[in-house]
Chains A and B, each alone.
Chain A
Amino acid sequence: MSWLRFSFESKLDEIFLVSLVLRQVCTHIGLDEILAYQVELCAIEAVTNSVRHALHEQPGNEVTVLIRFDDAKIDLQILDCGASMPPTYVERLKHGSQVLNFDPSDIQALPESGMGLQIIHDFMDEAVYTSNGGVNCLRLMKLLRRTGI
């Protein structure tokens, strides 16, 4: 199967386009609602990070998304040409962090941000970030189980 490839301008109000495409893909390959949500969520977290942190929401830049799937898995790649992810965040993506190990009784200490990488770490079966030649690439992979539709 070849890659489905599309790009959008680095603005937060265009990120919904990624959801539109992924929902159609997930419906086509028969993913159950929760699994489809996990795939969409991780893609949205990834592109949001590209727009916000790599490209600083500056207009005139692009985020590129590639999608490929087969019976066993779905692969995503999110590419941008912005600032690369700091090594500490790359480590968080790889190994997880303590951001969600909060005390539920301490409301004021609850996280309001920084949960995206942990969500990707927890929901995806693979998440690998590379930065080469000015191109940042986050590769995500999710093993599939289908509804049989």
Chain B
Amino acid sequence: MRFEENKVGSVLIAKVLDGRIAADVALQFKAHLAGYLERGERAIVLDLGAVSFIDSSGLGALISSLKALGIERHLVVSGARGTVASMFKLTRMDKVLRLFSTTEEAVAAIS
């Protein structure tokens, strides 16, 4: 999987560059997010603006990463498009994930 990383202050913005987060890359996705936590990132904005498809495996990997955060760290999502947002809504994960329309809003929320 391909990511583009930028830092705004202490906040890491990790933009997923691939259009799909599905079963074939779910483990890579999970490992990549785990890598951010292992290197000490405490505030992560996951930008899904380029993602048009996510399946339950991709969602499960995201949830696994959320569980690994602990109390003092943040993982929020920005830019979820209609299709991805519909998946979050169907699975009720929109009640769990902090979702923001723009990366700027997300960064401001966890800075």
Q: Give A contacts to B, CB under 8 Å.
A: 12-13, 15-16, 19, 33-34, 37-38, 40-41, 44-45, 48, 51-52, 100, 102, 104, 107-108, 110-113, 115-116, 118-119, 122-123
A112-B63 contact in complex given A15-B24, A40-B53, C-beta closer than 8 Å: yes
A122-B20 contact in complex given A107-B67, A110-B66, A111-B63, C-beta closer than 8 Å: no
Q: Give B contacts to A, CB under 8 Å.
A: 20, 22-24, 52-53, 55-57, 59-61, 63-64, 66-67, 82-83, 86-87, 90-93, 95-96
Mostly helix, strand, loop or mixed at chain B's interface? Answer: helix
Contact of A116 among B24, B56, B93 (CB under 8 A): B56
The 10 A-B residue pairs whose C-beta atoms are closest, nearest first, are A104-B95, A37-B83, A112-B60, A115-B56, A12-B24, A48-B23, A13-B24, A116-B56, A104-B96, A112-B64
Bound form: Cα–Cα A118–B64 in Å: 19
Q: Nearest Cβ in chain A — how far from B22, in angstroms?
A: 6
> Are A44 and B63 within 8 A (Cβ)?
no
Collect the chain B residues with CB atoms within 8 Å of residue A116's CB: 55-56
Question: A38-B86, A100-B92, A112-B63 known; 15 other A-B pairs, CB under 8 Å?
Answer: A33-B83, A37-B53, A40-B53, A44-B22, A44-B53, A48-B55, A48-B57, A104-B95, A110-B63, A110-B67, A110-B93, A111-B63, A112-B67, A113-B60, A123-B90
Contact of A107 among B24, B55, B66, B86 (CB under 8 A): B66
> Are B53 and A119 within 8 A (Cβ)?
no
Collect the chain B residues with CB atoms within 8 Å of residue A123's CB: 90
Bound form: Cα–Cα A113–B59 in Å: 9
